[in-house]
Amino acid sequence: MKRKEHITSFYLETLLLIIVFVGIILVLTQVFGLARSRSVQAKEKTSAVCLCQNAAEAFAAAESSQELLDLLNQNHNASLESADDNRGFIKAFYDTDRNPDANGILKIEVSWEKGEKTAGKDKVLRYAKIVASKDKKVIYNLETSVYDEEGWK
C-alpha cells in the first residue's frame, strides 16, 4: 500500500506542477500580447508626431499656401482643400511607415489662419493647427505659429 500512495502523490504533484506551468504560460502570453499592442500604438504615435513636426517645418518654411502644398505633396498624397488670404486647409495622407500614399491610413490636416498685426510692427503672425488621425480618431495635435513680415500670398 505504501508504494501505491507514493505513486498517487507523485501524480498529484506532477498534475499540480503542470497546472502551475499552464497558469504561468497563460499570464506570460497575456503580458506579451499587451506589450505587442502597446508597441503598435507607440509606433503609430511616433509616426504621427514625426509627420506633424515635418508639416510644421514645412509650414514655417513656406512663403505661400501653394508652396506649402508643394512641400507636402509627394506622389499626389496632398490636396489643398481651401485657401484664401486669411485661412486655409490642406490634407495629406501617409502609410504606416510614413511614406506618402494617396490611399494611406494616416491623415495629416494642416489648417492655418492669419493673426493680427503685432503692436506697432509690420509683422503678421500666422498660426496653424496640425492634426494626425487614423480612422477618424485623433492621434496627435500640434499647434505652431510663424511671424511673417509680408503675410502669405
Distance from C-alpha of 64 to C-alpha of 69, rounded to nearest angstrom:
9
58-76 in b/e form (b: 16+ CB < 10 A) is bbeebeebeebbebbbeee
Number of C-beta neighbours around residue 107 at 10 A: 19
Q: What is the pLDDT of residues 46-96, one digit of tens each?
A: 999 999 999 999 998 888 888 888 999 988 899 888 877 678 889 999 988
Q: Is residue 46 part of a domain?
A: yes
Q: Is residue 12 part of a domain?
A: yes
Q: Is residue 153 part of a domain?
A: no
Q: Is residue 114 part of a domain?
A: yes
Q: What is the pLDDT of residues 10-36, one digit of tens each?
A: 999 999 999 999 999 999 999 999 999
Domain that holds residue 57: 2-148
Q: How many domains does the chain have?
A: 1
